[in-house]
Homo-oligomer: A and B are copies of this chain.
Amino acid sequence: MKGLCGALAEADLGRLGSVSWHRRFRAGEAIHVEGEVPPSFCAIVSGVVKLSKSLPNGSQQIVGLFGAGDFLGRPFGGEARATAVAASEVEVCWFPRATIETVTAASGAVKDWLYEQVADELEKAQEWIMLLGRMTAEQKMAVFLLSVMKAAADGKPAPAPAREMVIELPLSRTEIADYLGLTIETVSRQIARLRERHVISAGNTRSVVVHRPDVLTAIVDSTRPPGYPVLVANQVDA
């Protein structure tokens, strides 16, 4: 999270501080564009950023999601191979590319930090490959909800997924679909089904109450027939 500052010598910190500035993006605005050399490296202060790729036929796939504390852009990277778009109102701390590259080149600690950063992202990407390749729509949806819960609970007192929780979805249905590799209709239907089963209930479109996180996790690691009999027996009232 705040590892960058930890990795920086005082002199560098001051140097970076003096050239950085805050910048806001409204939902939908592009931060980096696929095929262009990103002019910056930035830390997300608040909001959610989606990193997406698009196919010639026009369909999109979100390949990564970033929130407060995450970093965008890769020093020495050349052209960005995906587009970064603000999924909500986003505030970033913005560093000119050149400065970051100079500081990085000079500091071993920063290099270490950067390496960690990319390695983590790779790990997440590989998880996602697994998810996209081998999970059903239902499982994908469950993973998504759980990950939003986890993100929301990050740093909160209770580390375990609590017994009940209200979460705000950071993405529209269309974006969720692009994230999970599904269509918007399938996403909608999966949510409806979870609601019918009383696993979640929805107020506003964007906010969801998760009643049974345990059922979500059960769905995620269920063998293909997703344990309906057992789970339904548990939750249907007599």
Question: Which A residues lie at the B interface, using CB under 8 A?
Answer: 51, 53, 55-61, 63-64, 74, 76-77, 81-82, 108, 111-112, 114-116, 118-119, 121-123, 125-130, 132-135, 178, 180-181, 221-224
- Which B residues are CB-close (under 8 A) to A64? 126
Asked whether A61 lies within 8 Å of B134 as measured between CB atoms, the reply is yes
**A180, closest chain B residue (CB):** B133
Known: A111-B115, A114-B115, A118-B119. A132 touches B57 (CB 8 A): no
**A129, closest chain B residue (CB):** B63
**A52, closest chain B residue (CB):** B130
Asked whether B181 lies within 8 Å of A133 as measured between CB atoms, the reply is yes
Known: A74-B119, A111-B115, A132-B132. A126 touches B223 (CB 8 A): no
In the bound assembly, the distance between CA atoms of A59 and B221 in angstroms comes to: 11
Which of B51, B60, B126 makes the CB contact (< 8 A) with A82?
B126
- Which B residues are CB-close (under 8 A) to A135? 55
For residue A77, give the distance in angstroms from its CB to the closest CB of chain B.
Answer: 7
Asked whether A221 lies within 8 Å of B56 as measured between CB atoms, the reply is yes
For residue A109, give the distance in angstroms from its CB to the closest CB of chain B.
Answer: 10
Asked whether A123 lies within 8 Å of B81 as measured between CB atoms, the reply is yes
In the bound assembly, the distance between CA atoms of A180 and B129 in angstroms comes to: 10
Which of B59, B82, B126 makes the CB contact (< 8 A) with A53?
B126
In the bound assembly, the distance between CA atoms of A218 and B55 in angstroms comes to: 13
Ordered nearest first, which 10 A-B pairs have the shortest CB separation?
Answer: A133-B181, A125-B125, A57-B223, A132-B132, A56-B221, A63-B126, A61-B133, A111-B111, A122-B122, A61-B130
In the bound assembly, the distance between CA atoms of A119 and B87 in angstroms comes to: 24
- Which B residues are CB-close (under 8 A) to A81? 123, 126-127
- Which B residues are CB-close (under 8 A) to A130? 53, 55, 61, 63
- Which B residues are CB-close (under 8 A) to A58? 223
For residue A74, give the distance in angstroms from its CB to the closest CB of chain B.
Answer: 6
For residue A84, give the distance in angstroms from its CB to the closest CB of chain B.
Answer: 12
In the bound assembly, the distance between CA atoms of A171 and B3 in angstroms comes to: 41
18 contacts between A and B (CB under 8 A): A53-B126, A53-B130, A57-B221, A58-B223, A63-B126, A64-B126, A74-B119, A76-B115, A77-B119, A81-B126, A111-B112, A122-B122, A125-B125, A125-B129, A132-B181, A133-B178, A133-B181, A134-B181
